[in-house]
Amino acid sequence: MKKILSVAAVALALSATAVQANEGVYVGASYQFNKITATELNDVFKNDTNTLNLIAGYDVNEFFAVEGNIGLGMGSNSESFDTGAFKEPFSGENNDARFKGKVSNKQGMSYGIHAVGKLPVHEMIGLFAKVGYSSMSYESSLSVKETFSNTPLNASEKTNISGLSYAIGAEFNVMPELAITAEYGVFGESKEFLPQTKFKASGFNIGMKYKF
């Protein structure tokens, strides 16, 4: 009888240890490569941005977690243009007026909160899916100069790309406490009405997380 009780006690202790191993806080960071898609009427414009994410979460059990992140936009990109001299529509002669300028795009801060469903495949590999809410600030600016009169024109527009977000990914446990992660997802959509434009943010990220 004592042997049976001893075996039961050991089994219960091991079970409790296993449960505790799948619970707890984790923190991490990831670098994300974004694709911002803007659809204006029948025209589609795409722009690439990057984000450095800081992550914190809690593993409720082996199959479920809650997670939040805050991101910082890294750098900006721009494209210059020059229309060249215009031709008069009737005479065909060159007009001295021409337009030169630059279009710039910059991503600001972002954040998100997600429920995470996990599927352990092997002690070293697991799959996961996320669903939740994300928000990202995005700014486009235009700087144009008409060279004949040397008149500058500057304009900018800020957009908050936010809403339902979802992602799928995998994690690779290099140590019991340390994992490498990779995921792809959609991180929000928004609409502007003047002009009618739809923005969508998607991206791929790779990172690491540490489990306490």
pLDDT score at 17 = 43
> Helix (H) and strand (E) counts for the chain?
1, 11
Lowest mean pLDDT among 127-131, 155-159, 169-173: 155-159
Domain count, the chain: 1
- Confidence bin at 67 (pLDDT 50/70/90): very high
Tell me what pLDDT residue 194 has.
58
- The CA–CA distances, whole Å, from 156 to 34, 43, 83 equal 21, 19, 20
Q: Distance between CA 205 and CA 168 in Å, rounded?
A: 11
Instruction: Tell me if 42 is assigned to some domain.
Output: yes
Residue 61 counted as domain residue? yes
Indicate the average pLDDT of the chain. Answer: 82
Q: Which helix (H) or strand (E) holds 73?
A: strand 64-73
Domain span holding position 153: 25-211
**192 or 206: which carries more pLDDT confidence?**
206
Q: What percent of the chain has pLDDT over 70?
A: 77
The whole-model pTM stands at: 0.74
Which CATH number does the domain housing residue 93 bear? 2.40.160.20
Residue 186 forms part of a structural domain? yes
**How far is CA 21 from each of CA 62, 142, 198, rounded to the nearest angstrom?**
9, 53, 44
Three-state DSSP state, 7 = helix
Average pLDDT over residues 124-137: 95
User: Does some domain include residue 141?
Assistant: yes
Residue 31 included in any domain:
yes
**Alpha-carbon gap, residue 33 to 142, rounded angstroms:** 24
Query: Has residue 43 been placed in a domain?
Result: yes
* Domain-embedded: residue 10: no
Name the pLDDT band for 9 (thresholds 50, 70, 90).
very low
- The verdict on whether omega for the bond into residue 195 sits within 30 degrees of 0, i.e. cis, is yes
Element (H, E) at 180: strand 178-193
pLDDT confidence band for 31 (50 / 70 / 90): very high
Residue 16 lies in a domain: no
